[in-house]
Structure 1
């Protein structure tokens, strides 16, 4: 897979885009780190902070704009999209900048104290009204999922043929990395056995619900950012958070909240295992691709011991 280079922009191009939407007065235009597929800048206008992203990829940001409208419209602390458009060869999106720092930068004690609020937000994400949409898997620009069923999505995710995606030629990792074919096939088989438990449950999934995409002022959660959003069983987000905060009692805190609400939760253990296998399998090939052997081994051992 060939390397992708983010678009470069002259200062005048950025200023013109901002002038078109805000008029004169945008200041402190500063490039931000991150953004694997886009060039990202922060700026201030009228005393308020914003972020603008630029990409030359087809259809860039349309889904992000849809998700922003969906979540902010239902009261979730997600960046509000204020502009979406194109300038020459580039697409761009402007979003309000949220206060706070990454939850990962808080102390362990601060993170633990904010767990109840985190669980509350996770529960609200799962309850987002998606009734006017259809489909499973990655959310498209029209707000619908790309697949007819959760099983179809899972099969497509882990198929060998991934041309044109980040996972193109991923089976080469069996030769070039620590990725083990027998382990992947074992875990994939388990995943498919649990698909039937996840299949009936269709809700909003953030997809990257962990401390690096959660903002905090040290005492409370100020925002959720940068989702890899899809439709399916919302326990996927719970599994992600638990694996990133394994010593914080995430699962028990979630069960306690559900018990208080009186909401029935059929097949919870089976659904959670399906979520662990789904995200864990993707984690294994990602860690192998990145050369992160220690993370690979931790996840490998966790998954293999799930049904031990």
Structure 2
């Protein structure tokens, strides 16, 4: 399996799509860096900035619209989704642009200072009301989780057959990349053992919560973007943030998080066991992703951390 390449979209093609939805007053169409799955551009319409993303995966962007409404309607600073559509073989999504730059672009001191606000927003996001939704795991276009339990989601996420998805045919990675089957199997068995602590908890999970998906103006957090939304234990998001913060800033985000929860009077039962389960859950996704993207150094670093957890 070759490394995944996000789609290539020309400025002329972006203009053609935008003409369907906006007048000729669209200006400043600019490709944006970042994003491993989608080609992303910003543009301006009547002095207001927007984002358009193009992706060739079959899942589309319908779920993004649901998540956008769920979060923004409850005061979470998440970009409002406006338009979904298709162009050639690609899906596209147009949303409002949140002001600011990715958090990782700021200095160590600035990121350190804004970390408490990041954790406040994370706590609020993980506690949004889910209304009449049901199910666990990946959120589908109807707003429900795809599976009846967290364990079902884990098994499906790591199954060999995942047609029409980013992970279709992923077992070939054992032969073509640095992904090691004995390591994967060991971590998977550990995940199943610890997942019993995560299973009773159902909250909104951002699914990709780290400095590259958090925006700031340098003084405060302006918004959160690019959710890979799921329903399950909210410590999944903390484990994601912890991995990235340790890698880039070498800060103990977990202790800062626990201090904030204590200040707010929030108890987290079985925290240690749930957090280990969250780290294995994220870790298995990370091992596959890093190997597929041919980011070998990141793979080996993550592998060593997972094997040393217990």
Q: Output aligned runs, 1:72-111, within 5 Å.
A: 72-86=72-86, 91-111=91-111
Ranges in structure 2 where 5+ consecutive residues have no aligned partner: none
Deviations 1:45-77 (A, max 9, x none): 121111123456556211111111111111111
Equivalent residue, structure 1, for 2:259: 256
CA distance in 1, matches of 2:56, 2:303: 36
CA distance in 1, matches of 2:277, 2:99: 34
Judge conservation of contact 1:199–1:232 (CA < 8 Å) in 2: yes
Judge conservation of contact 2:58–2:164 (CA < 8 Å) in 1: no
SS of alignment partner, residue 143 of structure 2: coil
CA distance in 1, matches of 2:37, 2:276: 32
1:10 Cα deviation after fit: 7.1
CA shift in 2, pair 1:231/1:103, >3 Å: same
Judge conservation of contact 1:114–1:221 (CA < 8 Å) in 2: yes
Task: Compare 188-197 and 88-97 and name the one that shifted more.
Answer: 88-97
Deviations 1:7-31 (A, max 9, x none): 74673x6556545544442222233
SS of alignment partner, residue 114 of structure 1: helix
CA shift in 2, pair 1:295/1:20, >3 Å: closer
Task: Compare 144-153 and 167-176 and name the one that shifted more.
Answer: 167-176
CA shift in 2, pair 1:106/1:10, >3 Å: closer
Judge conservation of contact 1:74–1:128 (CA < 8 Å) in 2: yes
Task: Compare 18-27 and 246-255 and name the one that shifted more.
Answer: 18-27
CA distance in 2, matches of 1:278, 1:128: 22
CA distance in 2, matches of 1:5, 1:214: 21
Q: What root-mean-square deviation, in Å, do the aligned CA atoms of Structure 1 and Structure 2 show?
A: 2.3
Task: Compare 59-68 and 82-91 and name the one that shifted more.
Answer: 82-91
Task: Compare 77-86 and 17-26 and name the one that shifted more.
Answer: 17-26
1:90 Cα deviation after fit: 5.7
CA shift in 2, pair 1:73/1:191, >3 Å: same
1:183 Cα deviation after fit: 1.6
SS of alignment partner, residue 118 of structure 1: helix
Equivalent residue, structure 1, for 2:298: 295
CA distance in 2, matches of 1:292, 1:116: 30
Equivalent residue, structure 1, for 2:216: 216
CA distance in 2, matches of 1:202, 1:164: 27
- Alignment size in residue pairs: 306
CA distance in 1, matches of 2:82, 2:218: 27
CA distance in 2, matches of 1:248, 1:150: 30
Equivalent residue, structure 2, for 1:66: 66
CA shift in 2, pair 1:204/1:24, >3 Å: same
Deviations 1:103-153 (A, max 9, x none): 111111111111100110110111011131111111111111111110000
SS of alignment partner, residue 78 of structure 2: coil
CA shift in 2, pair 1:110/1:170, >3 Å: same
SS of alignment partner, residue 179 of structure 1: coil
1:194 Cα deviation after fit: 0.9
1:82 Cα deviation after fit: 2.5
Is 1:6 matched up with 2:7?
Answer: yes
Judge conservation of contact 1:7–1:38 (CA < 8 Å) in 2: no
SS of alignment partner, residue 222 of structure 2: strand
1:36 Cα deviation after fit: 4.9
CA distance in 1, matches of 2:128, 2:68: 12
Judge conservation of contact 2:57–2:166 (CA < 8 Å) in 1: no
CA distance in 2, matches of 1:45, 1:293: 41
Q: Output aligned runs, 1:164-179, within 5 Å.
A: 164-179=164-179
TM-score (norm 2): 0.90
Judge conservation of contact 1:6–1:36 (CA < 8 Å) in 2: no
Moved beyond 6 Å, runs of 4+: 2-5
Ranges in structure 1 where 5+ consecutive residues have no aligned partner: none
Q: Output aligned runs, 1:114-129, within 5 Å.
A: 114-129=114-129
